[in-house]
Structure 1
Amino acid sequence: MFRIGVNMAQKWALRKNQSTALIVVLLMFLSGCVSSNNSGSSSDDELLVPQWEIGDWWMYTFTTPEFGDVTTRLVVTETDAEENTSYMLGITNQLEAHRHALLNFNPFLGRITHSNLSVYENGIPQPVFSFPLVEGKIWSFDLFGYTNWNSQVLMINDGIAYMTANHDEGGLIEYSFDTNIGFISKLVWMETEDLTKLEMMFSGQNDEDYAGDAYFVRAYDLRNEVYQGNDGEVYDSIFLNNGHPSDGDFDHLYIYLDVEITSSASSHGTFTIKDHTGISPKVEAWNSGTSEKGSISVIPSQAGEYSLTVTCTGADSMIHVIVVGGLETVWEF
């Protein structure tokens, strides 16, 4: 009986000690004393900068006044850009890469810094985000050709930070960062109440190990002119193609044309670009009533002088011409 009693007491004491130890561990866990594999990861109070790998991709729908809706992927193509301080993001639609080169409407193409996912504007990283993201945080950045956007984190909920940025002339940007996908989930730029310049919406699809091609054009502005209707005057202008200031000769020249010719019988428009050898790789003519929205052409680049000749008749006729030089990169995965 005694031996059995001792064994029972020992078992009871052991169970008591185990229960006490379990309670202590639970209390330590609840108080944050026990570390976990998620140490250093984002929480609902603070979202940290993600880390990307080559081949990570996200599907987005981009909506602009010029081109409507386009759905395509953004892909991490490099992780060691700018002396191993930045990623490179390409896009899987080559035409969209050309459009961005001309209109610069997608800030999340090209170089993005490791430390803050800052985008490059005129060669300078701009903190569209300011990690760690916490509610109430305020900062400023330059974007879309406007300086000193005033940004703020309005709220963090379920791993998503909701932000706005305001500018007296640039309007309003509403955007969000989702830690569950490690990137932006929504961006809407409203230049005025009546004009939404860009909508960028995550489609719900993202993954690793992208297979296919991705594109990016590093562009340099050469010409941007709007020609209004007149009485038949011919506009002649000249520009120099000396290549990219830091990266040498261009691969191509990219031309954007936005044309509206009024329907009066005498209205018409013409466009010619000519290189220094006298070759005209792009010639256009438009009759009355023509509407051509956002056409894009790619022509060979020749170093030296170029001339533009434009005619535009009709009181409300308009021809918008943009010419950029570009260095085009293609990644194959």
Structure 2
Amino acid sequence: MPGIEIHNTCDCRVYDIRQQGQGSIDLCGEINYGLSSKPPSLPSLLLWNEEGLRRFDKFAHTPSYYLHDKELEILQRRSCEIAAVVPTGSILVELGCGSLQKTGQLLRALEKQGKSIRYYALDVSLQGLTSSVGQLYKELSNPSLVEIIGLWGTYDDCVSWISTPSGQDPVETSTITFLWMGNSISNMEKPSDASALLSKFKQASEAFSLRSQFLIAADACEDADMVQDAYDCQTAALKAFILNGLSHVNDLMGDTVFHLEDWSCESEFDPEKSQLEVYYTPLRDVTVNGADGETYHFSKGHRIRAICSGKWGRKLMFEVASAAGLQMNHAWGDCAGLYCKFISL
């Protein structure tokens, strides 16, 4: 069995692949570590609970957030070409699947090409995962060739799952394709972190003689004004999404650690690093009580990093792939050249 099967009301199997004590993230521990760090930060995973996914989807449909529409444009125009690189009888694993609103374009193209595919959707939010895979199954109208399965866990849990002999359903395949959509690769703190994670997936696949390939979406926009407008924290939908991260901390701690009325958020784009960072910002001097018993003091305006979003063009993505021992073979872009989807082997 590929983990512990979770009974659910959707029409797809969902498995718990969390590796307790062997790679699953201790969020409370990460929160304490981040609050004590200089500069301070909070884990970006806090943003991706079920409520966070719902709020992000609302934000992603705001007019200035170009990423959603550009990636959808690529999938609508190029889905058949992209599907052509995925062999029949193989495994497709989507990393951090979210709401799966765009994935259907690719899975429909695979069905149209007559390819038998076992598709796994990985996410850290169980409720969000079961809801998303159930909705995707309905949208595809009971697919006959593509099997949809949910995996509950983190990236590291997925690496362990692949690395475990019993970690996969019995399936005769020689290829596993990793799908990383939504520019999520650039949410890693540094490009080297992204390379390290890609390398882990590659090595885990090779351990079982599986050929691995990666379909990765990356935001290549270099227009600083356009990027800043897309992540304008005065936008109500973005502010609601970011501040939900603090609500998630309160839920985890079982106490009101962060009083939301004392906090706002702001963003800043660094063109030299090709990276945008979003911060939690206190509106007055505040005290935060950590789960470790420590007390953390933040003065008005003392920012705590919430998440970063790199704007990685072809040159940087080539470097990320090369550092992971991968070769970039092809790229599909939108008409304006703002967004790309890459295939690396």
Q: Shorter chain as normaliser: what TM range?
A: under 0.3
The structure that is strand-richer by fraction is 1
TM-score (structure 2 length as normaliser): 0.26
Structure (1 or 2) with the larger CA radius of gyration: 1
Higher relative contact order (CA 8 A, sep 6+): 2
TM-score scaled to structure 1, two decimals? 0.27
